[in-house]
Amino acid sequence: MAERRAKPQKIRCDACPVMCYIADGKAGACDRYANHGGNLVRLDMLTIIDGHHDKMVPFLNGAAGTDWDGDLVLQNRPFVTAVGAGTTYPDYKPAPFIVSQEVEGVDMVTVVTEGIFSYCGVKVKIDSDRHIGHERAIVRVDGEPVGHVMTGEYGSKMLSLGGVEHLTGGTKKEGRVTCDMLLRLCNREAVEMVIDDDISVVVQAGQPPVINGVTERLMRVGCGSAAIGMFAKQWFEHLDEVVVVDDHITGVLSEHQAGKELGVPATGIKIKGRRSTPGRYFQVADPGTGWGGTDIEDPLTILGPFNPSVAWPGLRMLMVSTTGEQYGYFVLDEALQPRPAEIPAPVMASVERVAENCEPSVCSVLFMGGAGGSLRAGVTENPVRLTRSVKEALTYVSCGGAEAYVWPGGGITVMVDVLDMPTNSFGYVPTPALVAPIEFSLRASDYAAMGGHVDEIRAIGTVVGKEIRKVPPADNQPDPNAPANYSWSGAGRPRR
């Protein structure tokens, strides 16, 4: 009789509500936890920000009573992030790491955990004049709705993506697609999305957007009126008229206050659009991917007949977009019709100056999540005290070591630029939900006063081992270890 081979023993992972049964040598559905010889192990290494603007080898003086012993850990003040730390589900458990170290003579505690965020999303800022959809237009990925277009903000298009209604309020496929989209965006990968069923946009943090297959280069220098104000002095000596074509506010030099103050005479120009104040016109064309975010390819289509009692043959006119990428130089003929002409060198230089003053077109991805609910129980037995400590600026909140903006109002709602965080900071669980790192840093005395899990505090020397990933600090980030991170200003609200 053949010997029956024993099946490998599966273990149950309790790191999230899915509660996977994992065979030896296999990973769970999230690819973050695995069964290694019957032990549940975290596959991603704990990430530590290695050093915060201290000397690499600080020699201790005689007052300390010792010489440098080669230990860089304490002196470089590493910061233990929650990236790779693990979760606390079910959240009656203390956070995976509660780390202490002395900083500038102050005992500090940092509580780190990877939160399971069902209530989360991203805000995307796309620096481009190109039309990508009207406000409230649905954004889709793989045919599933994942968000919508928000208000435009001065040359930037804004998207709100994700959120609990897309993650859990729709079909299973919508939730999975939304979670996958959020994970890729937050981990700085490219995601293609379709808006209003016909506008394709590829978004990647820190990269220019690709709109309908075209990679954007520049964001606008300003609206048409602002451009007139900025460059009027460079135009009036070489031109009789300038029109800066813009989807929102088209500027006209001769009518604009800047032109009036420089003594630019009236030209008899007529703009098709809704006149606002002098030299400013709304709705000269529909939104699009043409000149200045409009749908026009020929700028002359926004002009009516010149007034023959004011205009004159030989009148020199420049028409330019808000990025300087489209321009045309025209001279009125005897019939007062604008005719294309060779652009003079000084005028061409002014067009190049417009483009020079435009910033690069880029996508910004900001993770936004509510760190409320049971996540706080991993910090303290009385979770509301953590919220109060954050609002009172006693506790500093960071995500992967990056400074997080904490929104006013109730709860702990944080927002952070994913480019400030270590690479691959985000994970997921197929509930579906995003897994994001979050850290709470405060004085040890304040931690004890809020009812924190003081028995779980570990010295940083016991945490920093071989199985960690070290990353340098971001240049634009403050030191999360600093014992005093906030000052007070205004009507009692803390600020950095």
Q: What average pLDDT values come out for the chain (496 residues) when binned by 10 residues?
A: 62 82 85 82 81 38 38 57 84 88 87 91 95 94 96 91 94 96 97 92 97 93 94 94 95 97 96 95 92 93 97 98 96 97 97 95 96 86 93 94 93 95 91 93 94 93 76 76 47 30
DSSP string, 290-357: SGGGBS-S-GGGGB----TTT--TT-EEEEEETTSSSEEEEEE-TTS-EEE-PPPHHHHHHHHHHHHT
The predicted structure's pLDDT at residue 70? 40
CA distances from 241 to 163, 458, 478, 480 (A): 49, 71, 49, 54
DSSP symbol at 184: H
Q: Note the pLDDT of residue 485.
A: 47
Give CA 353 to chain center in angstroms.
28
pLDDT in tens, 138-159: 999 999 999 999 998 888 999 9
Residue 75 is predicted with a pLDDT of 43
Task: Enter the tokens of residue 439.
Answer: 């850290």
CB 163 within 8 A of CB 122: no
- Which residue type occupies 244? V
Helix-helix angle 345-356:224-235, to 10 degrees: 140
**How far apart are alpha carbons 73 and 50 in whole angstroms?**
8
85-118 as b/e: b if 16+ CB within 10 A: bbbbbebebbbbbbbbbebeeeebbbbbbbbbbb
Smallest CA-to-CA distance from 318 within 359, 358, 269, 258 is with: 269
Using omega within 30 degrees of 0 as the cis cutoff, is the peptide bond preceding 90 cis?
Answer: yes
What's the pLDDT at 172?
94
Per-residue pLDDT tens over the stretch 233-268? 999 989 999 999 999 999 999 999 999 999 999 999
Query: What pLDDT score was predicted for residue 123?
Result: 98
> What is this structure's pTM?
0.85
Structure tokens at 375: 């996540």
Tokens of 122: 């991203």
- Using CA atoms, how far apart are residues 428 and 426, in angstroms rounded to an integer? 7
